[in-house]
Amino acid sequence: MSVKSPVSIAPPAISAPVMPVRIKRELGVIIGLWQRDMMRFRRDTGRWVGLVIQPMLIWGLLGAGMRGSLTLAAGGKASSPFVFYLPGAIAMIGLFTSIFATMGVIEDRQHGFLQQVLVAPASRAAMIIGKALGVLSVALVQLVLTIPAFILAGIDLASVAWPLLLVVFVFGVLAVTALSFCLAWVVKTTHAYHALMGVFLIPLWLVSGALFPLPAEGFIRWVNYANPLAYMVDGMRHACAGGLYAGGAWTPLTSVLALVGATIVGLTLASVIARRPITAGGG
């Protein structure tokens, strides 16, 4: 057997300018993990697109079921249940995508891939950003798939504040992904993650204003001050109503700032948590 060329490039030179090498490595992990998620998305498009179906089904059933029996003082065309429930359904798509993508962290750990990522010459923050960008890219594709729902709900696409909707969606997904990543890191099995999802993440969606207007005070209101999904739903409701949404819990700017803050805090927290050892001893 002959060696063809296993050792042909020089090892990274320590004497080279430190910052560019470090930045290159950080970007390498970010781009590498994002590309991996894109490759997996292309391979398994049906599964990811399928994550749109359930929220859209819930949206359709809720809208149809509540039509005529529920009038929501939400300004403009938001009085239609289809309009009211649409932001919550889109938030659910972002939530589901984050949950299923970060569940992959547990599978990666079990299959050994995560260990390989951890010995890449970059920070844990780069790993988390790469993962979050992968989730976000998939979620954006899913967001595009929901555009027909806007038309079905009777929303004039020209009246939608798309930049606001996009910003709120992007930072909402990033914040929820960071949160989900933290949970995925500390639990050992996908079963445990499912349980956490059921008692923590899904309830956050339920109280976010997706199903009913946020109360002006009380326990749910307080919970939602720390619930990124609440800001996401409220911000998107503003965007869908084209600035005519009068019943919002917060202003659009408040929602955006809260989600940017939640994203920064979430990614930082995830970076800290990701420093915890992931293996529990072998030989």
Task: Indicate the residue among 80 and 271 with the shorter CB distance to other proteins.
Answer: 271
In angstroms, what is the minimal distance from the CB of 195 to other proteins?
A: 22
- Least Å from the CB of residue 102 to other proteins: 16
Smaller CB separation from other proteins, 169 or 185: 185
Beta-carbon-side half-sphere exposure of residue 230 (alpha carbons within 13 Å) = 24
Provide, rounded to whole angstroms, the least separation between the CB of residue 210 and other proteins: 32
Using the minimum distance from each CB to other proteins, give the nearer residue, 43 or 67.
43
Which part of the chain contacts other proteins (CB under 8 A), choosing from 13-21, 84-92, 138-146, 176-184? Answer: 13-21
Alpha-carbon distance of 277 to 10, in angstroms, equals 31
Task: Give the contacts of 28 (CB within 8 A, at least 6 positions apart).
Answer: 120, 122
* Separation of alpha carbons 80 and 154, rounded Å: 9
Query: 92 is written with which tokens?
Result: 């659910």
Candidates 66, 223, 260, 278: give the one binding other proteins (CB under 8 A). Answer: 278
Report the 10 Å Cβ neighbour count for 276.
9
Least spacing, CB of residue 177 vs other proteins, in Å: 19
CB of 37 to other proteins, least distance (A): 11
**Mask of contacts with other proteins, 16-45, x by CB under 8 A?**
-----xx-xx-xxx-xxx-xx--xx--xx-
- List Cβ neighbours of 210 (8 Å cut-off, separation of 6 or more): 85, 87, 88, 89, 91, 92, 229, 233
d(CA 258, CA 261): 5
Q: Which of 38, 120, 141, 196 binds other proteins (CB under 8 A)?
A: 120
As measured in angstroms, the least distance from the Cβ of 92 to other proteins is 26
- Does 2 participate in binding other proteins (rule CB under 8 A)? yes
Q: Which of 121, 148, 154, 198 binds other proteins (CB under 8 A)?
A: 121
> What amino acid occupies position 231?
Y
Least distance from other proteins to the Cβ atom of residue 50, Å: 17
Q: How far is the CB of 131 from other proteins (least distance, A)?
A: 12
Contact residue for other proteins among 50, 61, 79, 111 (CB under 8 A): 111
Residue number, 117 or 139, with CB nearest to other proteins: 117
Distances (CA, A) of 138 to 6, 29, 48, 98: 36, 18, 8, 9
- 279 in contact with other proteins (CB under 8 A): yes
Instruction: Name the site residues for other proteins (rule: CB under 8 A).
Output: 1-12, 14-15, 21-22, 24-25, 27-29, 31-33, 35-36, 39-40, 43-44, 111-123, 277-283
